[in-house]
Amino acid sequence: MINTNHRGKWGEDIALDYLDKKGYSKVATRFRSRFGEIDIIVKNKEFLVFCEVKTRKNAAFAQAREYVSTSKQKKIVSTAKYWLMKKPTSLQPRFDVVEVYAKDGELTSSPEIVHIENAF
């Protein structure tokens, strides 16, 4: 049986490391509210980025970003609005999706990462 929660956390850690190397600073991870959850919140000089991370073995069936449905997007936006109400910022909010493709699951030594900026 596949532990999807464990794989999801692993993918989020990989995505956070990737974003760190791209110059983003971690603000929060796994932020939950009554509206929904945001996997990663990072910032740079311009943006406060709310990231949804999707981890898959491959894109044979569909690209991971396709699993960020309109309903999921609305939950992320509502959660981000709640965050911004509690923690105002001068940075421009942005919504990204980070796809992590790991053909061997957590044993994958070099997963493929696709970062979609301003995804929705």
Q: Decide: 42 and 25 in contact? Cβ < 8 Å.
A: yes
Domain hosting 85: range is: 4-116
Quote the number of domains for the chain.
1
pLDDT in tens, 58-69: 766 778 788 899
Digitized pLDDT (tens) for each residue of the chain, 120 residues in all? 456 667 789 999 999 999 999 999 999 999 999 999 999 999 999 999 999 999 988 766 778 788 899 999 999 999 999 999 999 999 999 999 999 998 887 777 899 999 999 999
0.75 exceeded by pTM: yes
